[in-house]
Amino acid sequence: EAQVTQNPRYLITVTGKKLTVTCSQNMNHEYMSWYRQDPGLGLRQIYYSMNVEVTDKGDVPEGYKVSRKEKRNFPLILESPSPNQTSLYFCASSPRTPYSNQPQHFGDGTRLSIL
Amino acid sequence: DAKTTQPPSMDCAEGRAANLPCNHSTISGNEYVYWYRQIHSQGPQYIIHGLKNNETNEMASLIITEDRKSSTLTLPHATLRDTAVYYCILTGTASKLTFGTGTRLQVTL
């Protein structure tokens, strides 16, 4: 089944403890992206990747890192999490960049709580 | 990126057509209009997209005005399971996507 898989689905942790949210897609998509969703603010893009070893900042990249060493994986790294990063996170992928007429497929989300 | 404007909420009776408007007056010639929806806190689900022609698929219809400054998503026979937040977004030369706050559609009995 074609899908975008995020892990963990839920995580409660403490300030400053490094964490990684994994994202994997099995559709051989080139484009991958991370979003966060907060009440009243909709989805905001954190980082995106056009292809392996190519990443760029979205609208809210501060406090996050990403890597794209393989096409299928796009982990989101919080080196020193803070409470303002408590949010619902989504990973998405599409065959190519959005402007090339390809919809994005989203994962089921990861709910992070930073205490 | 160009922005979109949607009403914050709409109601629709079950079995009726739900027509969700979106304004995108600053749309560029190469930007597509995409519609996604999000049920509860699940991942957004793709519905439909178009450039300038009207589009239809098994889920919905999309009508884009001739000047491309607005569009309407139609769910022909809304059901309770269509209750969700619907996002109208534009994609163009930038690789970033900007989701607004969408329209919360409530389908009622």
pLDDT 10s digit of each residue in chain B, 109 long?
Answer: 458 999 999 999 999 999 999 999 988 888 889 999 999 889 999 999 999 889 999 999 999 999 999 999 999 999 999 999 999 998 865 556 678 889 999 999 9
Residue found by looking up tokens 């957004």 in the block: B44
Query: Which structure tokens are listed for A38?
Result: 């907060």
Which of A45, A56, A108 lies nearest to residue B43, judging by beta carbons?
A108
A55 and B96 Cβ atoms separated by less than 8 Å: no
Nearest residue to A95 (alpha-carbon basis) of A47, A44, A33: A33
B44 to A43: CB separation less than 8 angstroms, yes or no: yes
Q: How much is the pLDDT for B31? A: 85
Question: A5, A11, A6: which is closest to A114 by C-alpha?
Answer: A11
**Residues in chain B within 8 Å Cβ distance of A60:** none
**Which residue's structure tokens are 């990861």?**
A110
- Of all residues in chain A, the percent with pLDDT exceeding 90 is 78
